[in-house]
C-alpha cells in the first residue's frame, strides 16, 4: 500500500470554545494539509492540498513551509474539500497564488474517502497511511479541534437537528475506531491514545442526544480494547 507524507500548511483556529468563551486573538480559519507520496518529492503531479482556504495570518508561513520542502502553492496538483462550507472551499490571500490544481479524483485505495455526516450531510474525510504506517484521517469539521472533541461539543451557527447531532457522534466514533492521527477542521493534529479514548468514553453519557446513539460508546470501547 502506498504511504504518504503530510504537512499542515495552515493551522486552523476557532475562537469560540465549547464553554462559550471567546479567544479574541484566534483567527477563524480551517486547517489545510499537503499530502504527497512517501517515495517521491512533492511535484505538480503528486500533491494534494486539503481544504485550500488559505486566508489565515500564517499564510506567508505556509508559503515558506512549502518552499522549505521544495514546493510552491501554484504547483499543487490537486485539492480536496471535506465539505462545502465557506471556510473550507478554495480561497487564497493573494491573487498570484490562485492556481491550485484540479479537484481530487481517487485512482486507488491508498487515498480513501469516508463519508462522515453530521456537521454537514456530504462531509467526507480523506484517509491514508503515513511513513510510520499510522492511519491518518483528515476529517474537516467532523472534529473541530481537540478541545471540542474532548468536550463532546458541536457547533454550527445555523443550528442542528437532534438527528444531525447523533450523526455527528456516530462519525466521531467511526473516525476514532480507525484513526491513529486525526487532522481536524480547525486545529492541530490529534493523536488517538488510550487516554483520549478513556476520556471520550467517560464523557459521552453527558453528550447531547447520547441516548439516540448508544452504539457510539460501544465503538469507542472496542477501539480502547485494542490498546490494552
With contacts defined by CB under 5 A, name the span among 80-88, 95-103, 115-123, 151-159 that binds Zn ion. Answer: 80-88
Secondary structure string (H, E, C) spanning 75-137:
HCCEEECCCCCCCCCCEECCHHHCCCCEECCCCCCCCEEEECCCCCCCCEEEEEEECCCCEEE
Residue 164: closest CA among 173, 174, 154, 178: 154
Decide: is 141 part of the binding site for Zn ion (CB under 5 A): yes
Give the shortest CB-32-to-Zn ion separation in angstroms. Answer: 11
Decide: is 58 part of the binding site for Zn ion (CB under 5 A): no
Residue 58: closest CA among 100, 11, 95: 11
With contacts defined by CB under 5 A, name the span among 125-133, 137-145, 200-208, 215-223 that binds Zn ion. Answer: 137-145
CB nearer Zn ion, residue 143 or residue 207: 143
CB nearer Zn ion, residue 58 or residue 141: 141
Residue 7: closest CA among 189, 191, 193, 192: 189
Query: Which set of grid coordinates corresponds to residue 98?
Result: 490562485
Decide: is 120 part of the binding site for Zn ion (CB under 5 A): no
CB nearer Zn ion, residue 139 or residue 179: 139
CB nearer Zn ion, residue 71 or residue 88: 88
Instruction: Kindly report the number of other CB atoms within 10 A of residue 16's CB atom.
Output: 17
Decide: is 87 part of the binding site for Zn ion (CB under 5 A): yes
Query: Which residue in 185, 190, 197, 200 binds Zn ion (CB under 5 A)?
Result: 185
Q: What are phi and psi of 7, to 5 degrees?
A: -150, 125
CB nearer Zn ion, residue 183 or residue 220: 183
With contacts defined by CB under 5 A, name the span among 36-44, 66-74, 82-90, 98-106 that binds Zn ion. Answer: 82-90
Identify whether the C-beta of residue 147 lies closer than 8 Å to the C-beta of residue 84: no
Question: What's the rounded Cα separation, in Å, for the pair 60 and 54?
Answer: 10
Give the shortest CB-146-to-Zn ion separation in angstroms. Answer: 15
Site of interaction with Zn ion (CB under 5 A) = 87, 141, 185
Amino acid at each position: 500500500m502506498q504511504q504518504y507524507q503530510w504537512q499542515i500548511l495552515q493551522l486552523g483556529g476557532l475562537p469560540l470554545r465549547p464553554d462559550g468563551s471567546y479567544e479574541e486573538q484566534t483567527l477563524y480559519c480551517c486547517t489545510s494539509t499537503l499530502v504527497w507520496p512517501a517515495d517521491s518529492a512533492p511535484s505538480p503531479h503528486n500533491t494534494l492540498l486539503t481544504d485550500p482556504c488559505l486566508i489565515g495570518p500564517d499564510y506567508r508561513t505556509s508559503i515558506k513551509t512549502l518552499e522549505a520542502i521544495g514546493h510552491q502553492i501554484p504547483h499543487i496538483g490537486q485539492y480536496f474539500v471535506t465539505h462545502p462550507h465557506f471556510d473550507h472551499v478554495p480561497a487564497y490571500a493573494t491573487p498570484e497564488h490562485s492556481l491550485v490544481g484540479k479537484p481530487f479524483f481517487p485512482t486507488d485505495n491508498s487515498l480513501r474517502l469516508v463519508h462522515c455526516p453530521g456537521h454537514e450531510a456530504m462531509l467526507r474525510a480523506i484517509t491514508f497511511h503515513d511513513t510510520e504506517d499510522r492511519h491518518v484521517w483528515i476529517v474537516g469539521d467532523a472534529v473541530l479541534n481537540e478541545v471540542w472533541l474532548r468536550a463532546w461539543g458541536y457547533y454550527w451557527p445555523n443550528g442542528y437537528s437532534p438527528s444531525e447531532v447523533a450523526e455527528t457522534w456516530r462519525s466521531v466514533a467511526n473516525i476514532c475506531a480507525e484513526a491513529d492521527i486525526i487532522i481536524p477542521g480547525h486545529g492541530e493534529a490529534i493523536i488517538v491514545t488510550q487516554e483520549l479514548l478513556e476520556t471520550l468514553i467517560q464523557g459521552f453519557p453527558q453528550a447531547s442526544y447520547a441516548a439516540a446513539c448508544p452504539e457510539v460508546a460501544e465503538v469507542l470501547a472496542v477501539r480502547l480494547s485494542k490498546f490494552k
